[in-house]
Amino acid sequence: MSGTTEQQVSAQTPDWSRERIGKFWDPGQKLMRALRRYQAARARGGVLGKAASKYWALNHLFWSTICQSEIHLNTQIGGGLRLTHPTGIIIHPDARIGVNCMIFHQVTLAGPVVLGGHVDIGAGAKLLGPLTVGDHAVIGANAVVTRDVPPGATVAGIPARIIKP
């Protein structure tokens, strides 16, 4: 691993256990499972893939309704996304989410927002794209982000400002 640090490598390695369904009522994990299996079925193609994708699209619709969330089926989401409280999360279809991110309730990613790996977004935050959030950044609760966020920074407020570089 010449030229890379352990932190850079871990930023690209998804922790799939974060999406594991642990109990009967895990709506965030079940919503992610439906999305992932829909995408896999579509990629497989053929008659079985098409039938499976229809099933998983309905399953996704069910969990989206339960969570009152809107995450488009074709959104690019890295592995290990944690939806701790999945109520009211809105993610634009052009958004891209890196690995091992955590998104709390009532978060909106409006427009082509790009999240790096290990980004944590507090409850009620709004990210109004186009913008990019660097790896290991933290977005405070109820922040309104309208500009790029550098890697490792913590932003908060309306409009969001860097409070910890």
Residues 83 and 142 in one domain: yes
Task: Evaluate whether residue 20 is within a structural domain.
Answer: no
Task: Evaluate whether residue 153 is within a structural domain.
Answer: yes
pLDDT at 12: 79
Residues 109 and 132 in one domain: yes
Residues 44 and 97 in one domain: no
Residues 86 and 132 in one domain: yes
Does the N-terminal peptide bond of residue 112 adopt cis geometry, omega within 30 degrees of 0? Answer: no
Residues 61 and 118 in one domain: no
pLDDT at 3: 44
pLDDT at 1: 40
Residues 45 and 85 in one domain: no
- What is the count of structural domains for the chain? 2
Provide the whole-model pTM. Answer: 0.87
Two structure tokens written together for 149: 């966020």
- Our answer to whether residue 85 is catalytic in this structure is yes
Residues 81 and 50 in one domain: no
- How do the pLDDT tens digits run along the chain, 165 residues long? 444 444 454 557 888 888 999 888 899 999 999 999 999 999 998 999 999 999 999 999 999 999 999 999 999 999 999 998 999 999 999 999 999 999 999 999 999 999 999 999 999 999 998 999 999 999 999 999 999 999 999 999 999 999 987
Does the N-terminal peptide bond of residue 130 adopt cis geometry, omega within 30 degrees of 0? Answer: yes
Count of beta carbons in the 10 Å neighbourhood of residue 47 = 7
- Range of the structural domain that residue 101 is part of: 71-165
Element (H, E) at 155: strand 154-156
Q: Which of 85, 92, 105, 118 is catalytic?
A: 85
pLDDT at 11: 53
